[in-house]
Amino acid sequence: MGSSPLAADIHASVPLIAPSLLACDFGQLAREVQRLGEAGAQVLHLDVMDGHFVPNISFGIPIVEAIRRATDLALDVHLMISEPDRYVEAFRKAGADMLTFHIEVEPEPADLLRKVRRLGAAAGLSLNPSTPTDALRPYLTECDLVLVMSVMPGFGGQKFQPVALDKLRRLREAAGPDLLLSIDGGVDADTIVACAGAGADVFVMGTAFFRRQDYRQHLEALTHLARSGKNGRV
Ligand code: DX5
Ligand code: ZN
């Protein structure tokens, strides 16, 4: 199903924690990125918000470029923007390796998913907690990854909504083992095990990750929890 070599690489290393830089110290951005690399992170999650699709503004193309200059890690760019088609090329040029946009703004996403793959990035679709998984079903073969939102997108630090677990299960069942499934929003040491058990491969973590300073130890402990969830052990 996945046509992106990067998605295949990531698949081989799951479960993976993807720190969401939204919660890092932006005043020390390059240093934060470097520390995450040294700690063993493989994927960084970058939240792009436009103040239109979501009621918040974060950062855009120049910051993705700056992060690209600071690291070789895979950049997983989550576009929470209204017109992703206008910007995917620019984000790819800026250094995005994975480009995910929302089904709510592209109800017929096949062409855009293909465009993202043609640009050489892994193509991702995301859905809000209120959007049913059926909306994505016809397009799963065009996706390298699906990012399940367990909070309304726009802000870090929100409470995990368990409706996401059911979505992970349904998507895993519909797509089979090859699709990368990410979970985003309110993931912490308490919720990660259930997410892994429901089929998630990549765990986006902002607030709960950056609460601690010992990135390496934290990454290892969280990966261990995710692995135990995947194996059905707690
Ligand atoms: C929310 C973003 C998330 C956010 C997650 O709209 O898509 O990636 O950074 O943050 P936490 O882990 O704090 O919920
Ligand atoms: Zn995100």
Centre a 10 Å sphere on the Cβ of residue 19 and count the other Cβ atoms it contains: 27
For the chain (234 residues), the mean pLDDT of every run of 10, in chain order, is 76 95 98 98 98 98 98 98 98 98 98 98 98 98 98 98 98 96 98 98 98 97 97 70
Instruction: Look at the pTM and tell me if it is higher than 0.75.
Output: yes
pLDDT of residue 131: 98
Binding pocket residue ranges, ligand 1, CB within 6 Å? 20, 22-23, 45, 47, 78, 151, 153-158, 184-187, 204-208
d(CA 85, CA 120): 15
Q: HSE-up of 153 (CA within 13 Å, CB side)?
A: 32
Peptide bond into 15 cis (omega under 30): yes
Calculate how far, in angstroms, residue 45's C-alpha sits from the geometric centre of ligand 2.
Answer: 7
Q: Do the Cβ atoms of 136 and 170 come closer than 8 Å?
A: no
Calculate how far, in angstroms, residue 3's C-alpha sits from the geometric centre of ligand 2.
Answer: 22
Centre a 10 Å sphere on the Cβ of residue 70 and count the other Cβ atoms it contains: 17
Distances (CA, A) of 194 to 29, 41, 67: 31, 22, 31
Full set of structural domains in the chain with CATH: 5-230 (3.20.20.70)
Q: Which ligand 1 atom is nearest residue 188's CA?
A: 12
Closest CA to ligand 1's atom 7: 153
Catalytic residues: 47, 184
Give SS3 for 160.
Answer: coil
Would strands 43-49 and 145-149 be described as parallel, antiparallel, or unpaired? unpaired
